[in-house]
Every structure is written in C-alpha cells, then in structure tokens.
Amino acid sequence: MSTETMPETDSPAVPAAAGPLTGYTVIDLSRALAGPHAGMMMADLGARVIKVENPGHGDDTRGWGPPFVGPDEDPIATYFLSCNRNKESIALDLKSDEGKRLLSALIERADVVLENFRPGVLDRLGFSTERMHELNPGLVILSITGFGHDGPESHRSGYDQILQGEAGLMSLTGSGPDDPQRVGVPIADLLSGMYGAYGALAALLERERTGRGQVVRTSLLAALVGVHAFQGTRHTVAGEIPRAQGNQHPSIAPYGLFKCGDGHVQISVGSEKLWTAFAQAFGIDPIREDFATNARRVAHRPELIAEIEKAFSAYGAEELLARLNDAGVPAGKVRTLDEVYAWDQVRSQGLTVDVEHPVLGKVTLPGPPLRFFAPDASETTKAAHQAPPLLDADGEAIRRWISGAESDGEAA
C-alpha cells in the first residue's frame, strides 16, 4: 500500500471493502476496455480505484451503444457498466495546469497507475514514467498498448478485432480455413487486462522486498500470442500452420459439437478409457481399426463424426446428456446468455452481483470470477459491490481528500 498514511478526511464514495488489495490505491487513466478491465479486477479485490476521465464525455465506452438504458436525455451504455464496477470517477483536463496538479497529487498517493495510451502520449502531457517515479518512487505503472511499446509497429493503434486478426486468432476461429471469425467477446482487450493486472500485482509483491516501483508493460498482441498454447507449438516445434476447423478439437477426437435428435451437444473424450466407455455406451466398436487410438480417430474424423451423429440422432439433447453423464463422459449443451444468467450454478458461484445504480436503481452485473476462503473454510470474498460511477461523481470528494492531505503537510 502507499507509503503515505491516508488522512481521516471525507470518506470516499466507494468505501473500503474486504479484499486482498484493501488499502491499496489505483489511479486508472485508461479508457475503453483493456485498462478498465484490469482496474476493475483490482477494484474487485478491494483496491480503491479512482478512474480519471475527460471532462464532458468521459470514457469512450460511455457512448458505445446500443444498447443504452435509463433516461432518453442522458442514456447509459451497458458497455460501460461491464468494466467499471467498484470504481470512483473524477473528471480532469490533463492539458490544464489544474488537471496536471491534481493528477500529480493522485500519483503521489497511489500504489498503481494504469494507462493504455499510445506510446508517447503521456510523455507529451508531462507524465513520463520518469516524472511519475520522481513523484512516487514506489509507484507501479501498468501500461497496455496495442502492438507493444517498441518495435517497428509500436506506433499503430490497437483495437481488439484488428489484433484478433493480426495475432492469428481469427485464422484459428471459424467453420474452416476460408471462414475467419472473431471471438464473440473482445478477447484481446480482456486478456491484456488480465495479464496486466497480474503483472501489476507481481510488481507490488516485489516492491515489498525492494521498496521500489517499476513499469509493467503488456499489449493486445502479447496477450493473444501468449494464449496460442498448443496451437503455437504446432507451428514453432512441429512446423505446421494451424487453421480453423470449426467446432472440433484439432488434436483430440471425439471432442467438439455434435448434432443430435433435436439440437446439439458437446462432448470431450480426452482419454482412451473415456473413449472405450463412450463407444460402448453408443454401440460403436472401440477397437475398430480406424478408431482404435486418438491419432487414428483424428485422422478419420469425418467418418467418426458420421458414426457418432448417427448414434446421437435417436436422442433429444436432454436425454442424450443424461445418457452421457451415466457413461461418465464429459458433456454439455450450448447455452444462450439468458440461460447462463438464469442458471443456478452460475448464481451459486457469485458470478452475478446486484448493485444500486444512482440512475437505474438495482441492476445485476456479471460478477468477479474469484472467491476467497480462510483456513477455517469460511468465505472471505468481497460481498458488497458498487455500481459503475457516473462521470465525475466523486470529483468533489477526491479533491477534498487531496486538499485535506495537503493541509496536513503533504507536498502536492
């Protein structure tokens, strides 16, 4: 946490809450999704996250819609609601002397600053990494860009779908090699935010030993290359060029989406023991020559799919899932999002949270994916969450906090 003691002045709009990062302060200079997602992850863990926005219109995502909800004269974008819970908002003009002064004061009191400007933008505003570390030597700076901070294409603006294509993900996604598709969520933004958050936490841990801050860098490009996983080693080691092949696993069979009597089910047969159990349950010869090993099943995938879908055609999806469960075969359905959020299992894991929004009233948001437990097995997960803030909703309280600290003798 910050080396400075937070004075007892006006309470922040977001009260201190239980969580591993309680007592830490994060200044979120980012916009859109990658940086805000990282900031929300730290806020979910209990950090005080102060979101600095442009006066007038704020974060770009406040205007990204439809859908919009709330009053017609001042609609609220659900996109913004997805990545800014548990934060405070202050509007600062960083080109003005007063905006620069206030940001300097916030940096002095912060543990982490996160930003996703293009390289060089903060330098031109007067907040280079060197300047920020002059203000606060213990500061951890998380910086996220599109293509990386250096290299021949570091100057390029990074947007999720552009990077999904440039980083090869779209070549792996779709019904076939000639049907590149993006992932249905902005996965490059989300992953770079996740990588960035864990990098910032690692830097905070190192600061406990050294007392020094540092800069953590990642990018949308790095995040997607970082999750190529076995598809990456197919190329770097085996020399293959993986391509999209629909809803079938490229290295395991049967593993994927299959038609049945009234829809589709998914199965994952990842071992020879499972293959034997599955085949016997549905009248398929498990030691048939072209299906006897995983490698042979992959090589004869079209024949295998035909055999399986012939057997599945006699069952509706629910009956088939029950039969697969009885055979011990991992299986599932393809749910729409309304089905997901109505699912008891999702709610049991705290994956939705109810918050009170100042305009919308009670709303339900997708919740944080982590839970915490004490050694005695009692749950210590943060239970109370705050709605994403209105623009500059906390500006006055934050200014009072800064001025109160300065009047107590801190240098601004």
Contact 78, 67 (CB under 8 A): yes
Q: What are phi and psi of 8, to 5 degrees?
A: -85, 80
Which pairs from 225-228 meet CB under 8 Å and 24+ separation? 225/167, 225/168, 226/191, 226/195, 227/191, 228/168
User: Is 189 a residue of the active site?
Assistant: yes
Burial track 238-273 (b if 16+ CB lie within 10 A, e otherwise): eeeebebbeebbbebbbbbebebeeebbbbebeeee
CA distance 145 to 46: 25
Rounded Cα distance, 346 and 6, in Å: 38
Contact, 226 vs 217, CB < 8 A?
A: no
Instruction: Give the span between the Cα atoms of 38 and 263, in whole angstroms.
Output: 38
Contact 308, 279 (CB under 8 A): no
Catalytic position from the list 59, 189, 392, 394: 189
Q: Which two tokens stand for residue 385?
A: 């969450």
Distance, CA of 146 to CA of 225 (rounded, Å): 12
| Structure tokens given for 244 | 């999209």
Q: How many helices (H) and strands (E) does the chain have?
A: 16, 13
Give the other-Cβ count within 10 Å of 201's Cβ.
21
Give how far Cα 290 sits from Cα of 252, 284, 287, 294, 304, Å: 14, 12, 8, 10, 9
Chain centre distance of CA 128: 27
Catalytic residue positions?
Answer: 189
